[in-house]
Amino acid sequence: MGLGADSEVGRLRTVMLHRPGAELGRLTPRNNDQLLFDGIPWLGRAQDEHDAFAQALRDRDVEVLYLVELLAEALEVEPARASIIESTTSSLRLGDGLRGHLASVMADLAPDELALTLTAGLRNDEVTKFRSIVTSLLPPEDFLIEPLPNLLFTRDSSVWLPGQVAVTSLAMPARVRETQLTGLIYEHHPRFADASRVHGPHLEHVEGGDVLLLAPGVIAVGVGERTTPAGFERFARQVLTDGLAHTVLAVPIAQERATMHLDTIVTMVDVDTVVIYPNMAHLLRAHAVTLAPPAGPGQTGELLVEAEQSFFAAAAEAMGIETLHQIDTGLDPVTAEREQWDDGNNTLAIGPRLAVAYERNEQTNERLEEHGIEVVAISGSELGSGRGGPRCMSCPVDRD
């Protein structure tokens, strides 16, 4: 049976996570903003919190795959090693001499060592057996290979659809290399040999945190800070043409840090129920996009764009239900804003009416439980410093 998912709440069978590692230890007060973290996480505590998250999933019969382990296994394949070394050392700021040296050193690394270098990065002062005018002029603390602390948020670099995986195109410079690694895994790891791929890092920007699989055949895509209008158009045309959806909703969202992705505003906790940030619920709008029949043989149908309407009305109509029910974060506007900032909306559904959420969002979790949603509460005091919750930290590979 093939891998994939066609909803947010089908029983979760397999998920890809990234346990925070040495790359998180690269964050300093000088670079944390550039690397998209609001603070400097305590690595050991972040690892403990992540281990508890992974164990909570295993306790509910979810298979947990780790990105770096998959990467190291894929790097056993020589073409995979060659391509990722070439792309990683392609930066013009390295110069020919340093580029050649790094490529030579990386080629001699064992797969697990190469995976560590690709994720944790390499500083100028860690190059000890080679000097050039470039290494002499660059500050010692400069990264020749940037670390990837946002690998923690595996949701963004790929999205599993029915029988296919979309490798995304990330907008922020600090995250561009992430999709090179996930793309390599899906291309070269034997676990994914039968999975076809759509989209790709060379195309217009689409990020996984903006993609919600509302129901079989219905996908909502946030368009804002990370996913661009052109990225939406490309992605919508692909999934509609391939028959992976009959309706794709374009959902404009504010281009702000607090609402960087659609899943920071709204996520699903049941087949007809979402948890949503109430301060934005009435502002959330959507265009329903479908595909017209082709005009003739060998032609592709045009995208049909409906007039903008309420997100809830557009979603319910596309899903074929009377109402898309909503559960608000917090009990008042101030608490709602606080708990939205702390990823109260960013839940991961393990199955219908069963969701993982950060324990710190007490009022949101109480509201979920009042509505019959079982909450698996996890600690996220350190994990949350990158502005991501359980959904952000997980890439569902297979759902019922």
**Positions marked active-site:** 392
Q: Are 354 and 61 in contact (CB under 8 A)?
A: no
C-alpha distances in angstroms, 46 versus 15, 298, 329, 379? 19, 52, 25, 9
The H-or-E segment that residue 159 falls in is strand 158-161
Find the largest Cα–Cα distance for the chain: 68
Q: Can you tell me whether residue 226 is helix, strand or coil?
A: coil
Helices 67-74 & 111-120, crossing angle to 10 degrees? 130
Per DSSP, what are the bridge partners of residue 223?
252
Distance CA 86, CA 186 (A): 18
Distance CA 261, CA 209 (A): 5
Distance CA 363, CA 385 (A): 20
Q: Mind giving me the DSSP string for 275-292?
A: EE-HHHHTT-EEEEEEEP
Give the CA count within 13 Å in the CB-facing half-sphere of 319.
Answer: 25
| Of the candidates 308, 312, 245, the residue with the CA atom closest to the CA atom of residue 273 | 312
Helices 96-107 & 78-88, crossing angle to 10 degrees? 150
